[in-house]
Amino acid sequence: MVDTTPFRADSINAATGAGVPDLPIVALSEPTVAGKPKEEVLRIARLAKPDVIAALTKDPPTKTVLAASPLKPKPAKLLTFSGLTATAAGEEMEKYFLANKWSDGLPLVPATPEAVEAMLKGTNLPRDYVVGMVDPKKGIATVEKIAINAVMAGARPAYLPLLIAVVQGLTDPAFDLYGVQVTGGLAAPMIVVSGPIIRDLNLNFSYSTAGPGWRANSTIGRAMRLILINLGQAWPGINDMKDVGNPAKFGIVIAENEQQMPPGWPTLRESEGFGKQTSTVSVYASQSFRQIHDSQKYLMPTIPMKPIVDPMIARLMSTSLNATAEQWGEEMMVVFCPVMANILAKNGYTPDKIQKELWETGRISRRLFGPRPLGSYAVSSGIPQWIDDLPDDAMVPVVPKPEDIKVVVAGGRGPGVGFLVDRWGFGNSHFVTKEIKLPPNWADLVNEVKAWQTPIEVK
Protein backbone atom coordinates (compact mmCIF):
# COMPACT_ATOMS: atom_id res chain seq x y z
CA MET A 1 0.00 0.00 0.00
CA VAL A 2 1.12 3.53 -0.75
CA ASP A 3 0.10 6.30 1.62
CA THR A 4 1.16 9.74 2.78
CA THR A 5 2.54 10.38 6.26
CA PRO A 6 -0.62 11.94 7.75
CA PHE A 7 -2.44 8.70 7.01
CA ARG A 8 0.15 6.30 8.42
CA ALA A 9 -1.93 5.35 11.45
CA ASP A 10 -4.96 4.86 9.20
CA SER A 11 -3.01 2.56 6.91
CA ILE A 12 -1.71 0.43 9.77
CA ASN A 13 -5.18 0.35 11.28
CA ALA A 14 -6.75 -0.67 7.96
CA ALA A 15 -4.18 -3.39 7.34
CA THR A 16 -4.48 -4.80 10.85
CA GLY A 17 -8.25 -4.66 10.74
CA ALA A 18 -8.24 -6.54 7.45
CA GLY A 19 -6.05 -9.25 8.98
CA VAL A 20 -2.84 -8.40 7.13
CA PRO A 21 -0.77 -6.57 9.73
CA ASP A 22 2.44 -7.27 7.79
CA LEU A 23 1.21 -5.54 4.62
CA PRO A 24 4.11 -3.40 3.43
CA ILE A 25 3.22 0.27 3.50
CA VAL A 26 5.24 2.82 1.55
CA ALA A 27 4.99 6.40 2.76
CA LEU A 28 5.47 9.12 0.17
CA SER A 29 7.92 11.89 0.93
CA GLU A 30 5.20 14.58 0.86
CA PRO A 31 2.09 14.88 3.07
CA THR A 32 -0.07 15.20 -0.05
CA VAL A 33 0.31 14.84 -3.80
CA ALA A 34 -3.16 15.97 -4.90
CA GLY A 35 -3.08 18.96 -7.19
CA LYS A 36 0.71 19.12 -7.49
CA PRO A 37 2.30 19.77 -10.92
CA LYS A 38 2.98 16.63 -12.94
CA GLU A 39 6.76 17.01 -12.74
CA GLU A 40 6.59 17.28 -8.96
CA VAL A 41 4.45 14.16 -8.72
CA LEU A 42 6.94 12.32 -10.93
CA ARG A 43 9.76 13.41 -8.61
CA ILE A 44 7.82 12.05 -5.61
CA ALA A 45 7.13 8.81 -7.47
CA ARG A 46 10.83 8.38 -8.31
CA LEU A 47 11.71 8.84 -4.65
CA ALA A 48 9.18 6.19 -3.69
CA LYS A 49 10.13 3.73 -6.43
CA PRO A 50 12.85 1.77 -4.54
CA ASP A 51 10.51 1.26 -1.58
CA VAL A 52 7.63 0.18 -3.83
CA ILE A 53 9.87 -2.33 -5.59
CA ALA A 54 11.16 -3.63 -2.24
CA ALA A 55 7.59 -3.94 -0.93
CA LEU A 56 6.66 -6.11 -3.89
CA THR A 57 9.82 -8.22 -3.99
CA LYS A 58 11.21 -8.59 -0.45
CA ASP A 59 9.69 -10.49 2.49
CA PRO A 60 8.61 -8.34 5.45
CA PRO A 61 10.93 -8.49 8.48
CA THR A 62 8.29 -9.94 10.82
CA LYS A 63 5.45 -12.39 10.70
CA THR A 64 2.71 -11.12 12.98
CA VAL A 65 0.09 -13.45 14.31
CA LEU A 66 -3.15 -11.94 15.60
CA ALA A 67 -5.80 -13.99 17.24
CA ALA A 68 -9.35 -13.49 16.16
CA SER A 69 -11.54 -11.35 18.39
CA PRO A 70 -13.38 -13.14 21.12
CA LEU A 71 -16.85 -14.16 20.07
CA LYS A 72 -18.16 -12.93 23.40
CA PRO A 73 -16.75 -9.59 24.59
CA LYS A 74 -15.55 -9.56 28.18
CA PRO A 75 -17.29 -7.46 30.84
CA ALA A 76 -15.74 -4.06 31.45
CA LYS A 77 -12.71 -4.00 33.74
CA LEU A 78 -12.81 -2.16 37.04
CA LEU A 79 -10.37 0.71 37.46
CA THR A 80 -9.48 2.12 40.89
CA PHE A 81 -8.40 5.65 41.71
CA SER A 82 -7.44 6.89 45.16
CA GLY A 83 -7.25 10.21 46.91
CA LEU A 84 -7.35 11.93 50.27
CA THR A 85 -10.93 12.88 49.54
CA ALA A 86 -13.60 11.78 47.09
CA THR A 87 -12.84 14.90 45.05
CA ALA A 88 -9.16 14.05 44.94
CA ALA A 89 -9.90 10.49 43.83
CA GLY A 90 -12.19 11.87 41.12
CA GLU A 91 -9.44 14.20 39.98
CA GLU A 92 -7.03 11.27 39.72
CA MET A 93 -9.58 9.57 37.47
CA GLU A 94 -9.93 12.72 35.33
CA LYS A 95 -6.17 13.10 34.96
CA TYR A 96 -5.77 9.44 34.01
CA PHE A 97 -8.54 9.64 31.43
CA LEU A 98 -7.13 12.84 29.94
CA ALA A 99 -3.59 11.40 29.74
CA ASN A 100 -4.88 8.27 27.99
CA LYS A 101 -7.15 10.13 25.52
CA TRP A 102 -10.33 8.70 26.99
CA SER A 103 -11.97 12.06 27.62
CA ASP A 104 -13.60 14.86 25.66
CA GLY A 105 -11.80 17.38 27.84
CA LEU A 106 -14.82 18.22 30.01
CA PRO A 107 -15.29 16.94 33.59
CA LEU A 108 -16.63 13.39 33.54
CA VAL A 109 -19.24 11.69 35.68
CA PRO A 110 -17.56 8.62 37.20
CA ALA A 111 -18.97 5.42 35.68
CA THR A 112 -19.12 3.50 38.94
CA PRO A 113 -20.59 -0.01 38.80
CA GLU A 114 -23.69 1.30 40.62
CA ALA A 115 -24.18 4.17 38.14
CA VAL A 116 -23.79 1.82 35.19
CA GLU A 117 -26.27 -0.66 36.71
CA ALA A 118 -28.77 2.18 37.04
CA MET A 119 -28.12 3.25 33.43
CA LEU A 120 -28.67 -0.30 32.20
CA LYS A 121 -32.25 -0.12 33.49
CA GLY A 122 -32.81 1.98 30.37
CA THR A 123 -32.89 -1.13 28.21
CA ASN A 124 -34.01 -4.73 28.35
CA LEU A 125 -31.15 -5.79 26.08
CA PRO A 126 -28.46 -7.87 27.82
CA ARG A 127 -25.36 -5.93 28.75
CA ASP A 128 -23.14 -7.97 26.43
CA TYR A 129 -25.45 -7.46 23.44
CA VAL A 130 -23.38 -6.13 20.53
CA VAL A 131 -25.05 -3.13 18.93
CA GLY A 132 -22.37 -2.59 16.30
CA MET A 133 -18.68 -2.14 15.52
CA VAL A 134 -17.54 1.45 15.84
CA ASP A 135 -15.04 2.67 13.29
CA PRO A 136 -12.26 3.34 12.71
CA LYS A 137 -10.88 0.68 15.05
CA LYS A 138 -13.96 -1.51 15.07
CA GLY A 139 -14.61 -1.12 18.77
CA ILE A 140 -17.22 -3.63 19.87
CA ALA A 141 -20.16 -1.53 21.07
CA THR A 142 -21.84 -3.62 23.71
CA VAL A 143 -24.81 -2.22 25.57
CA GLU A 144 -22.55 -2.07 28.64
CA LYS A 145 -19.92 0.07 26.92
CA ILE A 146 -22.58 2.41 25.58
CA ALA A 147 -24.02 2.68 29.09
CA ILE A 148 -20.60 3.44 30.61
CA ASN A 149 -20.01 6.31 28.22
CA ALA A 150 -23.56 7.51 28.72
CA VAL A 151 -22.94 7.73 32.48
CA MET A 152 -19.71 9.63 31.88
CA ALA A 153 -21.60 12.13 29.73
CA GLY A 154 -24.17 12.75 32.46
CA ALA A 155 -27.02 11.04 30.60
CA ARG A 156 -30.06 9.58 32.36
CA PRO A 157 -31.18 5.94 31.95
CA ALA A 158 -34.20 7.05 29.89
CA TYR A 159 -31.80 8.33 27.22
CA LEU A 160 -30.22 4.90 26.70
CA PRO A 161 -32.72 3.58 24.08
CA LEU A 162 -32.08 6.69 22.01
CA LEU A 163 -28.31 6.26 22.34
CA ILE A 164 -28.52 2.63 21.29
CA ALA A 165 -30.42 3.74 18.18
CA VAL A 166 -27.74 6.41 17.58
CA VAL A 167 -25.02 3.74 17.64
CA GLN A 168 -27.09 1.60 15.26
CA GLY A 169 -27.24 4.57 12.92
CA LEU A 170 -23.56 5.40 13.19
CA THR A 171 -22.50 1.80 12.57
CA ASP A 172 -24.84 1.35 9.61
CA PRO A 173 -22.58 0.98 6.54
CA ALA A 174 -24.61 3.69 4.80
CA PHE A 175 -23.30 6.25 7.30
CA ASP A 176 -19.63 5.52 6.45
CA LEU A 177 -18.50 6.21 10.01
CA TYR A 178 -14.96 5.21 9.09
CA GLY A 179 -14.68 8.10 6.67
CA VAL A 180 -16.44 10.54 9.00
CA GLN A 181 -14.06 9.68 11.86
CA VAL A 182 -10.76 9.77 9.99
CA THR A 183 -11.34 12.43 7.34
CA GLY A 184 -9.37 15.64 7.19
CA GLY A 185 -12.67 17.36 6.36
CA LEU A 186 -14.88 18.96 8.99
CA ALA A 187 -17.31 16.06 9.45
CA ALA A 188 -19.19 15.73 12.73
CA PRO A 189 -22.20 13.49 13.25
CA MET A 190 -25.27 15.36 14.38
CA ILE A 191 -28.51 13.92 15.71
CA VAL A 192 -32.09 14.79 14.73
CA VAL A 193 -34.90 13.35 16.84
CA SER A 194 -38.52 12.96 15.74
CA GLY A 195 -41.47 11.57 17.65
CA PRO A 196 -43.20 11.33 21.02
CA ILE A 197 -39.88 10.63 22.77
CA ILE A 198 -39.09 14.36 22.46
CA ARG A 199 -41.74 15.17 25.05
CA ASP A 200 -40.92 12.14 27.19
CA LEU A 201 -37.26 13.14 27.55
CA ASN A 202 -37.71 16.94 27.66
CA LEU A 203 -35.63 17.31 24.51
CA ASN A 204 -35.60 20.98 23.57
CA PHE A 205 -37.36 21.36 20.23
CA SER A 206 -37.98 25.09 20.52
CA TYR A 207 -35.74 28.16 20.88
CA SER A 208 -32.07 27.21 20.55
CA THR A 209 -32.81 23.56 19.93
CA ALA A 210 -29.20 23.27 18.72
CA GLY A 211 -27.83 24.96 21.83
CA PRO A 212 -27.11 24.23 25.51
CA GLY A 213 -29.44 24.20 28.50
CA TRP A 214 -31.34 20.92 28.31
CA ARG A 215 -29.95 17.78 29.90
CA ALA A 216 -31.17 15.46 27.16
CA ASN A 217 -29.87 17.47 24.19
CA SER A 218 -26.53 18.19 25.83
CA THR A 219 -25.72 14.79 27.29
CA ILE A 220 -26.98 12.66 24.40
CA GLY A 221 -24.72 14.60 22.05
CA ARG A 222 -21.85 14.36 24.50
CA ALA A 223 -22.38 10.62 25.01
CA MET A 224 -22.20 10.15 21.25
CA ARG A 225 -18.82 11.89 21.17
CA LEU A 226 -17.48 9.81 24.09
CA ILE A 227 -18.67 6.66 22.29
CA LEU A 228 -16.82 7.76 19.17
CA ILE A 229 -13.68 8.43 21.24
CA ASN A 230 -13.72 5.33 23.44
CA LEU A 231 -15.35 2.75 21.22
CA GLY A 232 -14.28 3.96 17.79
CA GLN A 233 -10.93 5.13 19.17
CA ALA A 234 -10.31 7.91 16.71
CA TRP A 235 -8.00 10.60 18.05
CA PRO A 236 -6.94 13.97 16.53
CA GLY A 237 -3.66 13.74 14.69
CA ILE A 238 -3.40 9.97 15.11
CA ASN A 239 -6.22 8.67 12.97
CA ASP A 240 -8.67 11.60 13.05
CA MET A 241 -7.03 13.83 10.50
CA LYS A 242 -9.20 16.94 10.76
CA ASP A 243 -6.85 19.90 10.54
CA VAL A 244 -9.02 22.29 12.54
CA GLY A 245 -11.81 20.07 13.85
CA ASN A 246 -15.45 21.11 14.08
CA PRO A 247 -17.39 22.68 16.98
CA ALA A 248 -20.20 20.24 16.16
CA LYS A 249 -17.95 17.44 17.48
CA PHE A 250 -19.20 18.40 20.93
CA GLY A 251 -22.40 16.73 19.81
CA ILE A 252 -25.40 18.59 18.40
CA VAL A 253 -28.87 17.19 19.01
CA ILE A 254 -31.91 18.93 17.55
CA ALA A 255 -35.51 17.89 17.98
CA GLU A 256 -38.36 18.34 15.53
CA ASN A 257 -40.97 20.92 16.53
CA GLU A 258 -43.97 18.85 15.58
CA GLN A 259 -46.54 20.87 17.48
CA GLN A 260 -45.78 24.06 15.55
CA MET A 261 -45.26 22.49 12.13
CA PRO A 262 -47.69 23.47 9.41
CA PRO A 263 -50.77 21.24 9.58
CA GLY A 264 -50.58 18.47 7.01
CA TRP A 265 -46.80 18.50 6.68
CA PRO A 266 -45.32 15.05 7.27
CA THR A 267 -42.97 14.68 10.20
CA LEU A 268 -39.36 13.77 9.53
CA ARG A 269 -39.97 10.19 10.70
CA GLU A 270 -42.90 9.83 8.30
CA SER A 271 -40.79 11.22 5.46
CA GLU A 272 -38.17 8.61 6.34
CA GLY A 273 -40.74 5.82 6.11
CA PHE A 274 -41.64 5.28 9.77
CA GLY A 275 -45.01 5.41 11.48
CA LYS A 276 -46.25 8.54 13.21
CA GLN A 277 -46.48 6.74 16.57
CA THR A 278 -42.84 5.66 16.52
CA SER A 279 -39.90 7.78 17.54
CA THR A 280 -36.79 7.94 15.41
CA VAL A 281 -33.28 9.25 15.54
CA SER A 282 -31.38 10.33 12.44
CA VAL A 283 -27.61 10.74 12.19
CA TYR A 284 -26.10 13.08 9.62
CA ALA A 285 -22.47 13.88 8.81
CA SER A 286 -22.69 17.63 9.20
CA GLN A 287 -19.93 19.92 8.11
CA SER A 288 -21.02 23.54 8.57
CA PHE A 289 -24.10 25.55 9.44
CA ARG A 290 -25.23 28.37 7.18
CA GLN A 291 -27.88 30.75 8.40
CA ILE A 292 -31.08 31.14 6.42
CA HIS A 293 -32.70 34.46 7.16
CA ASP A 294 -34.52 36.62 4.75
CA SER A 295 -36.84 38.63 6.93
CA GLN A 296 -38.26 40.60 4.06
CA LYS A 297 -39.42 37.57 2.18
CA TYR A 298 -40.64 35.58 5.16
CA LEU A 299 -42.18 38.19 7.38
CA MET A 300 -43.86 40.37 4.77
CA PRO A 301 -46.05 37.98 2.87
CA THR A 302 -47.42 40.71 0.63
CA ILE A 303 -44.16 40.65 -1.30
CA PRO A 304 -44.35 38.13 -4.11
CA MET A 305 -43.01 34.91 -2.69
CA LYS A 306 -42.19 32.96 -5.77
CA PRO A 307 -39.67 31.49 -6.08
CA ILE A 308 -39.36 31.67 -2.33
CA VAL A 309 -36.41 29.44 -1.88
CA ASP A 310 -34.39 30.53 -4.88
CA PRO A 311 -32.87 33.79 -3.72
CA MET A 312 -31.75 32.41 -0.41
CA ILE A 313 -31.38 28.72 0.19
CA ALA A 314 -30.66 27.82 -3.40
CA ARG A 315 -27.97 30.47 -3.48
CA LEU A 316 -26.47 29.05 -0.32
CA MET A 317 -26.56 25.54 -1.76
CA SER A 318 -24.94 26.52 -5.03
CA THR A 319 -22.25 28.67 -3.47
CA SER A 320 -21.50 26.13 -0.80
CA LEU A 321 -18.00 24.76 -1.00
CA ASN A 322 -19.70 21.40 -0.86
CA ALA A 323 -21.72 21.88 -4.02
CA THR A 324 -19.13 19.99 -6.01
CA ALA A 325 -18.46 16.59 -7.48
CA GLU A 326 -16.87 15.26 -4.29
CA GLN A 327 -20.05 15.71 -2.30
CA TRP A 328 -22.60 14.90 -4.96
CA GLY A 329 -23.86 11.54 -3.71
CA GLU A 330 -24.80 12.76 -0.23
CA GLU A 331 -27.82 14.49 1.25
CA MET A 332 -28.16 18.10 2.42
CA MET A 333 -30.40 19.22 5.28
CA VAL A 334 -32.44 22.40 5.61
CA VAL A 335 -33.88 23.29 9.02
CA PHE A 336 -36.77 25.76 8.97
CA CYS A 337 -37.96 27.43 12.12
CA PRO A 338 -41.78 27.32 12.61
CA VAL A 339 -42.27 30.91 11.34
CA MET A 340 -40.57 30.13 8.05
CA ALA A 341 -42.30 26.78 7.68
CA ASN A 342 -45.76 28.23 8.26
CA ILE A 343 -45.29 31.12 5.84
CA LEU A 344 -44.05 28.63 3.25
CA ALA A 345 -47.12 26.50 3.89
CA LYS A 346 -49.45 29.52 3.52
CA ASN A 347 -47.90 30.05 0.12
CA GLY A 348 -48.70 26.53 -0.95
CA TYR A 349 -45.43 24.87 -0.14
CA THR A 350 -45.09 21.35 1.22
CA PRO A 351 -41.79 19.62 1.96
CA ASP A 352 -42.06 17.81 -1.41
CA LYS A 353 -42.46 21.08 -3.26
CA ILE A 354 -39.63 22.71 -1.32
CA GLN A 355 -37.35 19.78 -2.19
CA LYS A 356 -38.28 19.96 -5.86
CA GLU A 357 -37.80 23.69 -6.11
CA LEU A 358 -34.50 23.62 -4.27
CA TRP A 359 -33.31 20.78 -6.46
CA GLU A 360 -34.21 22.75 -9.58
CA THR A 361 -32.73 26.04 -8.44
CA GLY A 362 -29.88 25.03 -6.11
CA ARG A 363 -27.39 24.29 -8.88
CA ILE A 364 -23.81 24.97 -9.80
CA SER A 365 -22.22 25.34 -13.22
CA ARG A 366 -20.46 22.33 -14.75
CA ARG A 367 -17.32 24.45 -14.91
CA LEU A 368 -17.29 24.87 -11.12
CA PHE A 369 -18.67 21.41 -10.36
CA GLY A 370 -15.49 19.48 -11.01
CA PRO A 371 -12.64 18.72 -13.40
CA ARG A 372 -13.27 17.48 -16.92
CA PRO A 373 -13.39 14.51 -17.09
CA LEU A 374 -14.59 13.91 -13.55
CA GLY A 375 -12.41 10.80 -13.29
CA SER A 376 -12.43 9.23 -9.85
CA TYR A 377 -14.99 11.71 -8.54
CA ALA A 378 -17.53 10.10 -10.81
CA VAL A 379 -16.78 6.74 -9.23
CA SER A 380 -16.70 7.84 -5.60
CA SER A 381 -19.81 10.03 -5.89
CA GLY A 382 -21.76 7.87 -8.35
CA ILE A 383 -22.07 10.73 -10.84
CA PRO A 384 -23.64 9.62 -14.14
CA GLN A 385 -21.79 10.19 -17.41
CA TRP A 386 -24.41 12.65 -18.68
CA ILE A 387 -23.39 15.11 -16.00
CA ASP A 388 -19.72 14.71 -16.89
CA ASP A 389 -20.64 15.42 -20.51
CA LEU A 390 -22.56 18.65 -19.80
CA PRO A 391 -21.17 21.87 -21.33
CA ASP A 392 -19.39 24.24 -18.96
CA ASP A 393 -22.29 26.64 -18.55
CA ALA A 394 -24.90 23.98 -17.88
CA MET A 395 -26.24 23.95 -14.31
CA VAL A 396 -25.73 20.77 -12.27
CA PRO A 397 -27.98 19.90 -9.31
CA VAL A 398 -26.00 19.69 -6.09
CA VAL A 399 -27.74 16.47 -5.04
CA PRO A 400 -28.88 13.57 -7.25
CA LYS A 401 -32.60 13.89 -6.55
CA PRO A 402 -35.03 16.19 -4.70
CA GLU A 403 -35.55 13.70 -1.85
CA ASP A 404 -31.85 14.08 -0.99
CA ILE A 405 -32.68 17.48 0.50
CA LYS A 406 -33.94 16.73 3.99
CA VAL A 407 -36.48 19.24 5.30
CA VAL A 408 -36.82 19.57 9.08
CA VAL A 409 -38.93 21.97 11.15
CA ALA A 410 -37.29 22.79 14.49
CA GLY A 411 -36.70 25.73 16.78
CA GLY A 412 -38.85 28.46 18.26
CA ARG A 413 -41.16 31.11 16.80
CA GLY A 414 -38.61 33.90 16.60
CA PRO A 415 -37.67 36.35 13.86
CA GLY A 416 -37.51 33.61 11.24
CA VAL A 417 -34.04 32.12 11.18
CA GLY A 418 -33.12 28.59 10.22
CA PHE A 419 -30.06 26.92 8.84
CA LEU A 420 -28.75 24.90 5.94
CA VAL A 421 -26.50 22.12 7.18
CA ASP A 422 -23.73 21.36 4.73
CA ARG A 423 -22.76 17.73 4.39
CA TRP A 424 -19.27 16.39 4.80
CA GLY A 425 -18.90 14.89 1.36
CA PHE A 426 -15.41 13.49 1.00
CA GLY A 427 -16.67 9.95 1.38
CA ASN A 428 -20.15 8.63 0.90
CA SER A 429 -22.01 9.19 4.15
CA HIS A 430 -25.79 9.17 4.11
CA PHE A 431 -28.54 10.47 6.36
CA VAL A 432 -29.50 7.36 8.33
CA THR A 433 -32.68 7.04 10.41
CA LYS A 434 -33.36 4.35 12.99
CA GLU A 435 -36.37 3.58 15.11
CA ILE A 436 -35.92 4.04 18.85
CA LYS A 437 -37.09 0.83 20.51
CA LEU A 438 -38.48 1.36 23.99
CA PRO A 439 -38.16 -1.12 26.87
CA PRO A 440 -41.19 -2.44 28.80
CA ASN A 441 -40.38 -0.17 31.81
CA TRP A 442 -40.53 2.99 29.66
CA ALA A 443 -43.17 4.65 31.80
CA ASP A 444 -40.96 4.30 34.89
CA LEU A 445 -37.96 5.71 33.04
CA VAL A 446 -39.97 8.71 31.84
CA ASN A 447 -41.19 9.27 35.38
CA GLU A 448 -37.61 9.26 36.71
CA VAL A 449 -36.39 11.75 34.14
CA LYS A 450 -39.13 14.26 34.99
CA ALA A 451 -36.92 15.59 37.78
CA TRP A 452 -34.21 16.45 35.24
CA GLN A 453 -36.18 18.87 33.13
CA THR A 454 -35.68 22.44 32.01
CA PRO A 455 -38.74 24.45 30.98
CA ILE A 456 -39.15 24.86 27.22
CA GLU A 457 -40.46 28.17 25.91
CA VAL A 458 -43.13 27.63 23.29
CA LYS A 459 -44.84 30.76 21.95
Using CB under 8 A as the binding rule, the residues of this chain from 182 to 241 that contact another protein are 184, 226, 230-231, 233
CA angle centred on 358, ends 352 and 364, rounded to 5°: 150
Is residue 355 within 8 Å of 423, Cβ to Cβ?
no
Query: Residue 220's CB: how many other CB atoms inside 10 A?
Result: 27
Residue 451 in the binding site for another protein (CB under 8 A) = no
The smaller minimum CB distance to another protein, of residues 36 and 367, is found at 36
Classify burial at 33, counting beta carbons within 10 Å of its beta carbon; exposed 0-12, middle 13-18, buried 19 or more: middle
**Closer residue to another protein (CB): 33 or 395:** 33
Alpha carbon 195 to its chain centroid, in Å, reads 20
271 makes contact with another protein (CB under 8 A):
no
Which of 10-18, 189-197, 247-255, 256-264 is the region at the interface with another protein (rule: CB under 8 A)? 10-18
Nearer to another protein, 178 or 274 (CB): 178
Which residues in 23-82 contact another protein (CB under 8 A)? 23-25, 28, 32-36, 38, 41-42, 44-46, 48-49, 52-53, 56-60, 63-70, 73-74, 76-82
What CA–CA distance (Å, rounded) separates 457 from 459? 6
State the nearest-atom distance from the C-beta of 112 to another protein, in Å. Answer: 6
369 belongs to the binding site for another protein (CB under 8 A)? no
Between the CA atoms of 362, 428, 192 and 402, what dihedral angle is there, to the nearest 10 degrees?
A: 30
Nearer CB in complex with another protein: 92/403: 92
Query: Using CA atoms, how far apart are residues 129 and 158, in angstroms rounded to an integer?
Result: 18
If binding is defined by CB under 8 A, does position 92 make contact with another protein?
Answer: yes
Size of the site for another protein (CB under 8 A): 102
Question: Binding residue for another protein (CB under 8 A) from 165, 171, 176, 339?
Answer: 176
Distance of CA 227 to the CA centre of its chain: 12
One-letter amino acid of 26: V
Under rule CB under 8 A, which residues in 116-135 are in contact with another protein?
Answer: 116, 133-134
Could you say whether residue 375 binds another protein (CB under 8 A)? Answer: yes
Q: Is 190 helix (H, G, I), strand (E, B) or coil?
A: strand
Residue 240 phi/psi, 5-degree rounding, is: -110, 105
Rounded Cα gap, residues 106 and 112, in angstroms: 18
Tell me whether residue 179 or residue 416 sits nearer to another protein (CB atom). Answer: 179
- State which residue, 40 or 457, has the beta carbon closest to another protein: 40
281-340 residues near another protein, rule: CB under 8 A = none
| Residue number with CB closer to another protein (176 or 272) | 176
Name which position in 158, 159, 171, 178 contacts another protein (CB under 8 A). 178
Full DSSP string of 224-239: HHHHIIIII---BTTT
Between 14 and 292, CB nearer to another protein: 14
Q: Peptide bond preceding 373: is omega within 30 degrees of 0, i.e. cis? A: yes
